[in-house]
Amino acid sequence: MRLKPIRINKTDYLALLRLEKKPRPGWWAVFSVNGNEQVWPFVCFGLTAEVDRIYVPLNEYPLLRDIAGIFRNNVDEIGGRFFIDGIGVFFIRGEKEVENSKTVPEQFIVWLLDEPLPEKPIPPLPESLVKSNSMTFRERLKMTRR
């Protein structure tokens, strides 16, 4: 598969990382996309139950919208999970995304950097916000900025 380049700046990258709900070892952020072009951050291994999904408003995160579109157009039109780090975005074929798997992630997006990205990811949202479905997405984000 040919790598798709995406231009990214530090501000867009940090905004994307702030959406992380549950850390994954080795990745700065992990998201899923479905066939309806809905995107949500990683909260559990395997299929994420509908009630546990916190959908990201893609009109507010064009970088994430672009990543999800490239995933659906070039990797799997039904959707799946993608993994983000400092050099780009990856996917893992099949059901082998479990920890300690021998499956090698495949890169499908490479970052074109306007400036250096931070060395360490920013902290994830508090667990209390991850499980809460009673607040809107904006309310949850505002709480993390206090």
Cβ atoms < 10 Å from Cβ of 39: 24
Cβ atoms < 10 Å from Cβ of 135: 13
H helix or E strand, kind and range, residue 106: strand 106-113
Encode pLDDT of 50-71 as tens digits: 999 999 999 999 999 999 999 9
CA distances from residue 53 to 49, 69, 86, 109 in whole angstroms, order as listed: 7, 19, 25, 24
pLDDT of residue 11: 85
pLDDT band at 9 (very low <50, low <70, confident <90, very high): confident
More confident residue, 79 or 140: 79
Encode pLDDT of 14-25 as tens digits: 888 889 888 887
pLDDT band at 132 (very low <50, low <70, confident <90, very high): very low
53 contact partners, CB below 8 Å, separation of at least 6: 32, 38, 40, 43
**pTM across the whole model:** 0.75
Encode pLDDT of 74-116 as tens digits: 998 888 999 998 889 999 876 555 555 567 889 999 999 877 8
33: number of CA atoms within 13 Å, CB side? Answer: 23
pLDDT of residue 1: 74
CA-CA distance, 49 to 106, in Å (whole number)? Answer: 25
pLDDT of residue 30: 93
